[in-house]
């Protein structure tokens, strides 16, 4: 048994090399058992699929295999294969990825998100609206995947400041209500989870502690917070998908559509960035509003407190979240001059 384990460990060390050597040989019968063109094409497709799934080669290297294999085995000439890698739609998509990298490098997405959340406030429904507006706006210019990947860490940080750790929240959802006749012991919690009222007297904040929450109240409040947590995370990919429909560069299917139209209808130039935006942007706004209302209804607790600010048991947590948002935005500092345009003075010596 020990010898088999050692053999498996050795195999795992060289598995990529074995896949690179054996896969072309295993798939080789396809070239002879099928019609020449179809068999050769299927051979290359399956070879790339295996290399992609196993990552025996880097993904980018595998993507370049048709440039070498198609002309070599007679599927397509090089003059037809290479231009497919340099289509204008591909470069548009590439420019979106470059823009996403630049935005993430300099934290522009974080600045936009925090500013929007400062404006809309920290009520759960308004927080959901703020994240949806930010995600949809970024997704208009970037890919949906990049937007979602950039926004989720910001959402998690805000949720943790508002509700605490997710694991602790799940534990609170499991709190059992004492059975009838059972003696209830009111034990002071280690962290301030009881109800609070924030009052302002002489310019100072004073927190008056109310009665300790019962297990049932703790469980119901934790379940509500968990629902808000789910809605907050769900709204980001939803709004990114909706926002991507507003512009041609917002998502890859839009670019593919334009590429196909130019292939089949070369003389048709009705669809461009401006015409698409005029058509799709109003629809995007409508669907974004409907999506916000539906997600907020299911997870955000839309009620009379949505527009009327009340001092309730969640006021302390909301005030803490607002303080965290304000502090994070201050840490970003003011916008500064990038100084990438130096002017003409550098070409002249002083004096």
Is residue 117 located within the same domain as residue 50?
no
Question: Percent of the chain scored above 90 by pLDDT?
Answer: 14
- Inform me whether the pLDDT recorded for 320 exceeds 50: yes
pLDDT grade for 310, boundaries at 50, 70 and 90: very low
The whole-angstrom separation of Cα 324 and Cα 315 is: 14
- Inform me whether the pLDDT recorded for 169 exceeds 70: no
- Inform me whether the pLDDT recorded for 183 exceeds 80: no
The whole-angstrom separation of Cα 308 and Cα 318 is: 14
pLDDT at 174: 66
- Dihedral sign, CA of 226, 232, 234, 235? positive
Is residue 147 located within the same domain as residue 243?
yes
Q: Which distant-in-sequence residues (6+ apart) come within 8 Å of 326 by Cβ? A: 118
Helix (H, G, I), strand (E, B) or coil at 206: strand
CA 120 to chain centre: 21
Q: What is the mean pLDDT of the chain?
A: 76
How many other C-beta atoms can be found within 10 angstroms of the C-beta atom of residue 276?
Answer: 20
Is residue 25 located within the same domain as residue 151?
no
**Does residue 148 lie in a domain region?**
yes
Q: Dmax of the chain from CA atoms?
A: 94
236 φ, ψ (degrees, to nearest 5): -70, -55
What's the half-sphere exposure (Cβ side, CA atoms, 13 Å) at 27?
A: 19
What's the half-sphere exposure (Cβ side, CA atoms, 13 Å) at 94?
A: 7
**Does residue 315 lie in a domain region?**
yes
Domain that holds residue 70: 15-78
Q: What's 134's DSSP letter?
A: H
**Does residue 2 lie in a domain region?**
no
Is residue 67 located within the same domain as residue 168?
no
- Inform me whether the pLDDT recorded for 210 exceeds 50: no
pLDDT at 315: 67
**Does residue 87 lie in a domain region?**
no
Report pLDDT digits (tens) over 55-66: 888 888 898 999
CA 108 to chain centre: 15
Is residue 152 located within the same domain as residue 37?
no
Alpha-helical regions (H) of the chain? 2-13, 15-26, 29-33, 36-54, 59-63, 65-72, 78-81, 88-106, 108-120, 124-139, 144-163, 166-173, 215-243, 252-264, 273-295, 315-332
Is residue 19 located within the same domain as residue 64?
yes
Structural domains in the chain (count):
2
**Does residue 29 lie in a domain region?**
yes
Q: How far is CA 111 from CA 13, 150, 169, 325, 346, in A?
A: 45, 12, 28, 10, 33
**Does residue 7 lie in a domain region?**
no
Is residue 292 located within the same domain as residue 208?
yes
Report pLDDT digits (tens) over 13-34: 788 888 888 899 998 888 888 8
| Of 314, 306, 302, 300, nearest in space to 213 by CA | 314
Is residue 117 located within the same domain as residue 233?
yes
Is residue 46 located within the same domain as residue 119?
no
pTM as predicted: 0.62
The whole-angstrom separation of Cα 64 and Cα 82 is: 10
Is residue 73 located within the same domain as residue 154?
no
Is residue 33 located within the same domain as residue 125?
no
Mean pLDDT, residues 86-93? 73
The whole-angstrom separation of Cα 304 and Cα 145 is: 35
Is residue 40 located within the same domain as residue 135?
no
Report pLDDT digits (tens) over 219-263: 677 777 778 888 888 999 999 999 999 998 888 888 888 878 888
């Amino acid at each position: 048994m020990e010898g088999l384990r050692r053999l498996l460990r050795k195999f795992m060390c060289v598995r990529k090399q074995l896949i690179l050597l054996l896969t072309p040989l295993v798939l080789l019968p396809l070239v002879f058992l099928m019609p020449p063109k179809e068999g050769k094409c299927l051979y290359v497709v399956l070879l790339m699929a295996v290399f992609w799934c196993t990552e025996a080669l880097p993904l980018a290297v595998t993507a370049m295999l048709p440039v070498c294999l198609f002309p070599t085995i007679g599927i397509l000439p090089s003059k037809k294969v290479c231009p497919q890698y340099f289509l204008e739609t591909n470069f548009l998509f590439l420019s979106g990825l470059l823009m996403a990298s630049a935005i993430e490098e300099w934290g522009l997405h974080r600045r936009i998100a925090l500013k929007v959340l400062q404006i809309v406030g920290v009520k759960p429904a308004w927080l959901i609206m703020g994240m949806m507006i930010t995600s949809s706006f970024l997704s208009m210019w970037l890919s949906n995947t990049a937007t979602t990947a950039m926004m989720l860490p910001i959402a998690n940080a805000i949720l943790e400041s508002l509700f605490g750790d997710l694991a602790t929240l799940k534990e609170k959802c499991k709190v059992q209500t004492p059975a009838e006749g059972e003696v209830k012991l009111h034990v002071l919690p280690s962290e301030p989870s009881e109800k609070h009222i924030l009052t302002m007297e002489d310019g100072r904040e004073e927190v008056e502690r109310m009665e300790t929450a019962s297990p049932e109240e703790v469980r119901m409040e934790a379940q509500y917070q968990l629902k808000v947590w789910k809605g907050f995370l769900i709204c980001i990919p939803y709004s990114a998908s909706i926002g991507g429909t507003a512009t041609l560069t917002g998502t890859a299917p839009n670019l593919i559509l334009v590429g196909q139209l130019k292939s089949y209808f070369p003389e048709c130039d009705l669809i461009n960035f401006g015409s698409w935006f005029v058509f799709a942007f109003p629809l995007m706004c409508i669907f974004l509003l409907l999506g916000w209302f539906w997600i907020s209804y299911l997870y955000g607790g839309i009620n009379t407190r949505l527009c009327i600010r009340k001092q309730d048991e969640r006021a302390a947590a909301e005030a803490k979240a607002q303080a965290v948002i304000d502090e994070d935005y201050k840490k970003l500092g003011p916008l500064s001059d990038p100084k990438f345009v130096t002017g003409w003075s550098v070409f002249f010596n002083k004096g």
